[in-house]
């Protein structure tokens, strides 16, 4: 670390966390994945894995939501090294978006160039069914805040990053090709993120649908913005765990989200096994 870098700055804190992680493993990966609610089981598939609890990494928050184990796993899928965040932090847990996206900053300093963001989401598109998967083509930020607000450190990226291709079209094609090779149905769609933690009202869902969203959730968008700020390539995959309020008469609950994630675990894991070596 340069003598000019303050350990109290965001960049300095990210470097400190990256040093701790490097001290625990010799594996270096250019690909990382953030595993959403009910999807953390993929991390158990990593071979020769090193597990680091979040509370041992300087600057990492604590994952408090069921379905988020709260540890960084670094290992291999086949011959491909990969870092997997087994759970994420959320704005609704009371963390700032700087805290929510801090791990993405650290992954970049570790050499990660490609980021896979996964989440559990509710379907707005009536063609989607619980248990189906959607590759994210774009997003709508309805959280009321942006993770880049505040001083900008040019070592991370520019003051005004372009988000035209927030989600790489090339990486979307890779995911869709592998889904077709598996014979599985996979949708494309726009993901809208709200702050939560309450699920949306039917009126809010009607509004979000009218804006052009196909699925809705409470994560992913801040991480995608920060990743693109640092010129990382991003691909997003949503697991449709339920129909959003107003799309279905059934009440929405988190147990359903976790159960659906577990139900699609095998198919989801196989898709990632095929996709990661191509990234």
Residue with tokens 């870092």: 83
Q: Using an 8 Å Cβ cutoff, are 48 and 36 in contact?
A: no
Express each pLDDT in 52-64 by its tens digit: 999 999 999 987 7
Catalytic residue among 17, 18, 37, 179: 37
Nearest-CA neighbor of 118 among 223, 237, 257? 237
Q: Please give the model's pTM, rounded to 2 decimal places.
A: 0.92
Does residue 93 carry a catalytic annotation? yes
Q: Is 139 designated active site? A: no
Residue-level pLDDT at 249: 66
- Confidence band (pLDDT; 50, 70, 90) for 253? low
Mean pLDDT (whole number) for 29-42: 87
Handedness of CA 21, 25, 29, 33 (dihedral sign): negative
Q: Is the pLDDT of residue 23 over 50?
A: yes
Domains of the chain: 10-278 (3.40.50.1580)
Catalytic residue among 92, 165, 207, 270: 92
Q: What is the pLDDT of residue 5?
A: 47
Residues 202-207, mean pLDDT to the nearest whole number: 94
E-state strands within the chain: 31-35, 47-53, 71-77, 80-86, 114-123, 133-141, 186-193, 215-217, 233-243
| Catalytic-role residue among 51, 96, 141, 254 | 254
* Known active-site residue 242: yes
Q: Is 229 a catalytic residue?
A: no
Question: Does residue 56 have an active-site annotation?
Answer: no
Q: Which of 90, 125, 166, 200 is catalytic?
A: 90
Mean pLDDT of 32-39: 86
Q: Which of 118-127, 165-174, 259-268 has the lowest mean pLDDT?
A: 259-268
Grade residue 7 by pLDDT with cuts at 50, 70 and 90: low
Question: Phi and psi of 274, rounded to 5°?
Answer: -80, -35
Assess whether 49 carries a catalytic annotation: no
pLDDT tens column, 80-124: 999 999 989 999 999 999 999 999 999 999 999 999 999 989 999
pLDDT at 244: 75
The whole-angstrom separation of Cα 254 and Cα 272 is 24
120 classed as catalytic: yes
92 is annotated as an active-site residue: yes
Digit-coded pLDDT (tens) for 222-242? 999 999 999 999 999 999 988
Over 60: is that where the pLDDT of 67 sits? no
Integer CA distances (angstroms), 221 to 22, 90, 136, 182, 190, in order: 27, 11, 11, 28, 11
Whether the pLDDT of residue 14 is over 80: the answer is yes
219 is catalytic: yes
* Catalytic site residue from 120, 179, 192, 215: 120
Q: Give the model's confidence band at 4: pLDDT under 50 very low, under 70 low, under 90 confident, else very high.
A: very low
Q: Are 168 and 84 in contact (CB under 8 A)?
A: no
């Amino acid at each position: 670390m340069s003598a000019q870098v303050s350990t109290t700055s965001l960049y300095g804190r990210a470097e400190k966390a990256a040093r701790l992680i490097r001290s625990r493993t010799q594996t270096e990966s250019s690909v990382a994945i953030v595993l959403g609610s009910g999807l953390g089981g993929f991390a158990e598939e990593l071979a020769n894995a090193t597990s680091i609890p979040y509370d041992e990494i300087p600057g990492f928050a604590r994952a408090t939501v069921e379905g988020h184990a709260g540890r960084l796993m670094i290992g291999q899928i086949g011959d491909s090294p990969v870092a997997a965040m087994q759970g994420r932090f959320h704005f609704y847990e009371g963390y700032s978006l700087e805290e929510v996206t801090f791990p993405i900053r650290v992954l970049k300093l570790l050499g990660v160039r490609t980021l896979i963001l996964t989440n559990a989401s509710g379907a707005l598109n009536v063609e989607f069914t619980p248990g189906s998967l959607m590759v994210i083509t774009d997003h709508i930020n309805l959280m009321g805040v942006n993770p880049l607000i505040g001083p900008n450190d040019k070592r991370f990226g520019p003051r005004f990053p372009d988000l035209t291709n927030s989600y790489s079209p090339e990486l979307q094609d890779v995911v869709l090709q592998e889904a077709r090779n598996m014979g599985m149905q996979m949708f494309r769609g726009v993901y809208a993120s709200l702050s939560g933690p309450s699920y949306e009202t039917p009126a809010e869902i009607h509004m979000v649908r009218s804006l052009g969203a196909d699925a809705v959730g409470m994560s992913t968008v801040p991480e995608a913005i920060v990743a693109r700020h640092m010129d990382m390539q991003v691909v997003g995959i949503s697991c449709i765990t339920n129909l959003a309020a107003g799309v279905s008469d059934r009440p929405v609950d988190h147990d359903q989200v976790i159960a659906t994630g577990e139900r699609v675990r095998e198919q989801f894991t196989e898709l990632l096994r095929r996709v990661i070596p191509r990234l």
